[in-house]
Amino acid sequence: MQQYRTHNCNELTKENIGMQVKLSGWVQKIRNLGKMKFIDLRDELGITQIVISDDLQDSTKEITTESTIMVCGEVVERQSKNYKIKTGEIEVIAKQINILGKCNTVLPFEINSNEQNDVREDLRLEYRFLDLRNDKIHKNILLRSKILQTLREEMNKMEFIEIQTPILTSSSPEGARDFLVPSRLHPGEFYALPQAPQQFKQLLMVAGFNKYYQIAPCFRDEDPRADRSPGEFYQLDFEMSFATQDDVLKVLETVILNTFRKHAKGTVDLNVSRIPYLEAIEKYGSDKPDLRNPLIIEDVTSILSNLEFRAFQNKIVKAIKIPNGASQTRKFFDNLSEYVVEELGAKGLAWLKIENGLNGSIAKFITPCVEKDLIEKIGAKEADAVVFIADDKEKASKIAGGVRIELGKRLNLIEKDVFRFCFIVDFPMYELSDEGIINFNHNPFSMPQGGMESILNSNPLDILAFQYDMVCNGYELASGAVRNHDQDVMIKAFEIAGYTKEDVEKKFGALFKAFSYGTPPHAGAAPGVDRIVMLIAGEENIREVIAFPKNKKARDLMMKAPSAVTQKQLDEVHIALKTSEKK
C-alpha cells in the first residue's frame, strides 16, 4: 500500500462501497454542520467528499482550506448524491486525518473561483503556484502536455527524428532583438539565446539527416502581445532534406489537423485553402485572415476615386459589403467610425445603405452610373449596407482589415466552435522600410522564386519567395520556407538587402561554409506550440496556457526577474553598468 493514498480523488464509485481507503489532496471546501463536518478533498484528477464525524472534530480544528491532508476511512453510499462529479454517489467516512501541509495564511485570492479572470493579473502571476491550482488553468497545462505528446507522435509516425540544438549560440540578425549572455571565459564576447534553431536545423540537413524535429525553446526580446509570450516561446521546429514547399505543407496539414481533431472541442474544417499573400491582403486586409468571418474587402478605387467627395480623391478606396446591413442604425455607423479613427488611425469611415435606393453619409455623391458599377462590383442587393475606407496605398488595406474584424465581432458574424485553416503562400521576398531601404520581408534564408535569374533581373520588390504561413481563425500557427541552399544565390539575395559577401560570411559563417560541401535542397517550418494550445483550449490570452508566464512588461513577478545582480557577478563576466549622470 502506498504511504499517502490507495486511490485518487476521482476513482471511487458505488463498487468501492465498504472498502477501507486512503486519500490525499487539498482541502477545497469545508462545510460545518454542527456535529457533522464535510470536506471536499481535491487532487489533480477530481474531488471526493469526506465526512468527519463528531469524535474527530477536535483533531480537525486546525484544518484550513488549501491545506494538504491524508484521510483514512470507509467508502459509503452518499445520501445526497451529486451527479456533477464522478464520485458523486459515494463519500468517505473519515477514521483518521493527518495534516500534511497546513495553509498558514490567508489566501491572496480564492483558488477555484469562477471569477478567476476578475482577480488582478499581477496578483495571479505573483502567486502563480496557487493560480495553477485553479481547475481551469490546471487543465490547460495538462492539455498542453497531451498536445505536446500528440505532436511528437505525429512527427515520429512520419519518421522525423528528434535532435536538440544549442541554447547558447551566436547573435544572428533574424528580425528581433537577441537576448545576450556575457562570457566569463572570453571577456567582451557574448553568446545569444536562439531566436529559432534556424541555422542549426539547416546544418543538420547539410550533415545528412533526412528529417529533423524538436520542441524548441526560442528567445526574442520583443514587445508582448496577448497571443505572444514575451521573451520566450516554444515551437515545433522541423526540417526536411530533398523537400519542396508542397512536401512541407503536407506535413503541416497532417500534424496540425490531426492534433486539433484529437484535442479541440468543435468542428475542424479539413479543407485547407492556399491563398497568395497579395490576395489575402486584398480580400481580408491581413496575412492572417480569419476565415470564419464571411466579410470580404473589395477595391473600388476605380469606381469612386473620381467622386466629388474629397476624402476619396487621390486615395485607395476599399469597400466591405454587410449583408442585410441596412437594418443598422445611424448610431451603429457613427460608433464604428469613432472606432476606426481612435483605434485604427484612419481619418474616418463612409457608409451607404441600399434601401429603396441609396442613403447614407455619401449617398448624395453617388451618380446613377456609379451606383450601378458599385453594386455590380461588390455584389450588393436590397437591404445590404456598405462601408468605405479611403487612405494611402500602404494603409488602406490594413485599416480595411481592422474594420472587417471589428464588424465581424459587432455583428456576431464569426462562426462559433469551428477551426478554419489556410496556407498563405507567395510572400514578397523583400519590403521597403519607412526610410526607403530594402529589407527582407519574412525570412532571409528563403529561396527566391525563380532563383538567380529572378534575383538578377527583377525589381526586388516584385520577387516572391518560397515562404508560407499556416493560419487558423486569424492566428498565425506556423511559418516556414524552402531554404536558399545555393551559396551564390545567397550572396546576391543578401546584397539586395544591404549585406556584403563579407557580412554574410561573418554573420552566418557556419552556414555559408557548409553550403560549399554539397547541400541538399531543404525546407521546413515551425508551428508555434503556445498558440496552438491557446486556440485548442479556447483561451484569448496566451498566458493562460503557459505554466509560468511573464506579465505584459516581460517581468516574472513570482521569481522577481529580471533582477539586479551583485558587483561580484558583474566582475566575473567583465560587465560594467552604465549609469546616467545626475544633473
| Residue range 307-323, pLDDT digits in tens | 888 889 889 999 999 99
**Is pLDDT at 224 greater than 80 in this prediction?**
no
Per-residue pLDDT band at 14 (split at 50, 70, 90): very high
C-alpha cell at 292: 470564419
Q: Which of 382, 389, 387 is closest to 407 using CA atoms?
A: 387
**pLDDT value, residue 94:** 95
Cβ neighbours around 526 below 10 Å, total: 23
**pLDDT value, residue 115:** 64
**pLDDT value, residue 508:** 83
Cα 356 to Cα 46, 326, 353, 370, 386, distances in angstroms: 61, 10, 9, 16, 15
Instruction: Please name the residues in contact with 567: beta carbons below 8 A apart, sequence gap of 6 or more.
Output: none
Asked if residue 50 lies in contact with residue 38, where contact means CB atoms within 8 angstroms, the answer is yes
Cβ neighbours around 399 below 10 Å, total: 22
Q: What is the per-residue pLDDT across 23-77, written as a single tens digit (0 to 9) for each?
A: 999 999 999 887 789 999 999 999 999 999 888 887 788 899 999 999 999 999 9
Q: What is the per-residue pLDDT across 281-293, written as a single tens digit (0 to 9) for each?
A: 999 999 999 999 9
**Is pLDDT at 172 greater than 80 in this prediction?**
no
**pLDDT value, residue 60:** 84
| HSE of 16, CA atoms in CB hemisphere, 13 A | 23
**CATH class assigned to 113-274+474-482+521-575:** alpha beta
| Residue found by looking up cell 458523486 in the block | 88
Asked if residue 346 lies in contact with residue 389, where contact means CB atoms within 8 angstroms, the answer is yes
Global pTM exceeds 0.85? yes
**Is pLDDT at 1 greater than 70 in this prediction?**
no
**Section 109-134 average pLDDT:** 87
**pLDDT value, residue 434:** 81
**CATH class assigned to 293-413:** alpha beta
**pLDDT value, residue 583:** 45
Domain locations along the chain: 14-101, 113-274+474-482+521-575, 293-413, 428-464+486-519
**pLDDT value, residue 171:** 85
Q: What is the per-residue pLDDT across 246-268, written as a single tens digit (0 to 9) for each?
A: 999 999 999 999 999 999 999 99
**Is pLDDT at 580 greater than 80 in this prediction?**
no
CA angle 187, 191, 195 (to 5 degrees): 160
**Is pLDDT at 173 greater than 70 in this prediction?**
no
Average pLDDT, the chain: 93
| Residue range 14-101, CATH number | 2.40.50.140
Asked if residue 357 lies in contact with residue 374, where contact means CB atoms within 8 angstroms, the answer is no
Residue 3 has φ and ψ, to the nearest 5°, of -65, -35
**Is pLDDT at 180 greater than 70 in this prediction?**
yes
Rounded to an integer, what distance in angstroms lies between the CA atom of residue 47 and that of residue 39?
A: 10
Asked if residue 406 lies in contact with residue 293, where contact means CB atoms within 8 angstroms, the answer is no
Q: What is the per-residue pLDDT across 236-247, written as a single tens digit (0 to 9) for each?
A: 999 999 999 999
**Is pLDDT at 114 greater than 80 in this prediction?**
no
Per-residue pLDDT band at 305 (split at 50, 70, 90): confident
Classify each residue of 476-512 as buried b or exposed e, where b means 16 or more C-beta atoms within 10 Å of its C-beta.
Answer: bbbbbbbbbbbbebbbbbbebbebeeeebeebbeebb
Query: How many Å is the Cα radius of gyration of the chain?
Result: 30
**Section 527-551 average pLDDT:** 96
Phi-psi group of 553: left, alpha or beta (phi > 0 → left; psi -120 to 50 → alpha; rest → beta) = alpha
Q: Which of 9, 28, 229, 38 is closest to 133 using CA atoms?
A: 28
C-alpha cell at 444: 532571409
**pLDDT value, residue 20:** 96
Per-residue pLDDT band at 491 (split at 50, 70, 90): very high
**pLDDT value, residue 442:** 80
Residue 378 has φ and ψ, to the nearest 5°, of -100, -5
Q: What is the 3-state secondary structure (H, E, C) of 481-537?
A: EEECCCHHHHHHHHHHCCCCHHHHHHHCHHHHHHCCCCCCCEEEEEEEHHHHHHHHH
**Is pLDDT at 107 greater than 50 in this prediction?**
yes
**Is pLDDT at 228 greater than 80 in this prediction?**
no
Q: Express as a percent the part of the chain with pLDDT over 90.
A: 80
**pLDDT value, residue 258:** 98
Residue 148 has φ and ψ, to the nearest 5°, of -60, -40
Task: Say if residue 582 is exposed, middle or buried (CB neighbours under 10 Å; 0-12, 13-18, 19+).
Answer: exposed
**pLDDT value, residue 335:** 96
Identical fold for domains 113-274+474-482+521-575 and 293-413, yes or no, is: no
**pLDDT value, residue 320:** 97
